[in-house]
């Protein structure tokens, strides 16, 4: 018997607020991948973080500076970027409208694994803001 595909209708889901001006919807349809739809409003407090899984970000709306290892990369609607595992990164939304993006995490994002826990670097707190804690 073939495995049944898993599906979700984000139109019927409630947004989860991560912190002020940052919210997301999440889908963990397999053991291999997590997909999130994120809304980040300009003026938010950025959250510098790192994790042991690869992240692909696809900007659907808005513009941002996406910092990877302290280097800013300006992204606008239609841009994609792959972030390797264990590299510090964060987004700073720019402009007048919220950034809407899709993040794909491989393997599945599991925040309670010791190797997936995030450690804030106080020396970067001023530049990047508060700690981002991944959802499970």
Digit-coded pLDDT (tens) for 98-111:
999 999 998 766 65
Dihedral pair phi/psi, residue 73, rounded to 5°: -125, 120
CATH no., domain 14-110: 2.60.120.10
Strands 54-61 and 63-68, by their bridges, are unpaired
Listed by start position, the domains of the chain span 14-110
**Ranges under pLDDT 70 in the chain:** 1, 108-136
Classify residue 105 by burial, with Cβ atoms within 10 Å: 0-12, 13-18, 19+. buried
With H, G, I as helix, E, B as strand and everything else as coil, classify residue 124: helix
Digit-coded pLDDT (tens) for 64-84:
999 999 999 999 999 999 999
With H, G, I as helix, E, B as strand and everything else as coil, classify residue 82: strand
Nearest to 90 by CA among 116, 125, 117, 61: 125
């Amino acid at each position: 018997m073939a495995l049944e595909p898993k599906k979700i209708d984000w139109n019927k889901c409630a947004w989860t607020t991560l912190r002020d001006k940052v919210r997301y919807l999440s889908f963990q349809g397999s053991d291999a991948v997590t997909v999130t739809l994120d809304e980040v409003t300009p003026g938010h407090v950025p959250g510098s973080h790192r994790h042991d899984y690869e992240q692909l970000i696809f900007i659907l709306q808005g513009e941002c500076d996406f910092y990877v290892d302290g280097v800013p990369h300006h992204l606008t609607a239609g841009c994609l970027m792959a972030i390797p595992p264990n590299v510090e990164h964060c987004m700073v939304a720019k402009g007048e409208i919220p950034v809407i993006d899709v993040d794909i995490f491989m393997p599945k994002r599991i925040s309670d694994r010791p190797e997936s826990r995030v450690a804030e670097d106080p020396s970067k707190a001023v530049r990047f803001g508060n700690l981002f804690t991944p959802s499970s």
